[in-house]
Amino acid sequence: MLRIAASAKTIVRTASLEAPPLGIRVLPRLYHERVVDHYDNPRNVGSFDKNDPTVGTGLVGAPACGDVMKLQIKVDDKTGKIVDARFKTFGCGSAIASSSVATEWVKEKQIEEVLTIKNTEIAKHLSLPPVKLHCSMLAEDAIKAAVKDYEAKRASASAGGQTTTGEKAATA
């Protein structure tokens, strides 16, 4: 069985090395080593409990290409610093690499600071080709959505806490 797979691989490899017809120039499409590294060894894959009040979840997608990205941040309420980040991405290698880089970049930063991360910085870091820029845009959008979700949970919790305190004062 392995021999068949190995010989098939050789056939595919030889077939792809054949010269194209005259007048047609075929250029290989290569990814930068950082994209390949983050695709082969993605950092911070996984998820947190979305109901945890210290967790913000950003879920974004690009209908045109089918990429879907979920990025979660875990925030220390006392300091406002992001202590951990996780992602799950369904999509191409560039989308996975963009998610992985985004989680690395947001860790140990203040919320206000991560909102300044731009898709152009992610794209430049990964040397993404123009056709893959939407992947870095998804990563930026996912960061913003996660922060927005965390802040909404925090506002809801503090509004709920104020109501409870007010009710206790009225009851007493």
The pTM is what? 0.75
135 tagged catalytic = yes
* Catalytic, out of 135, 138, 145, 146: 135
- Return the closest-CA partner of residue 100 out of 156, 145, 138, 154: 138
> pLDDT tens digits, residue range 82-123?
999 999 999 999 999 999 999 999 999 999 999 999 999 999
* Catalytic, out of 36, 45, 59, 65: 65
Q: In which residue are the tokens 């909102």 written?
A: 115
- Return the closest-CA partner of residue 134 out of 71, 85, 61: 61
- Return the closest-CA partner of residue 71 out of 124, 136, 130: 136
What does each of the 172 residues of the chain score in pLDDT, given as a tens digit?
334 433 333 333 334 456 556 777 765 667 788 888 888 899 999 999 999 999 999 999 987 788 999 999 999 999 999 999 999 999 999 999 999 999 999 999 999 999 999 999 999 999 999 989 999 999 999 999 999 999 999 998 888 765 443 334 343 4
**Residue ranges per domain, the chain?**
42-152
Q: Tell the CATH topology of 42-152.
A: Sufe protein. Chain: A (3.90.1010)
Four-CA torsion 120, 121, 125, 130, nearest 10 degrees: 0
Q: In which residue are the tokens 């004062």 written?
A: 169
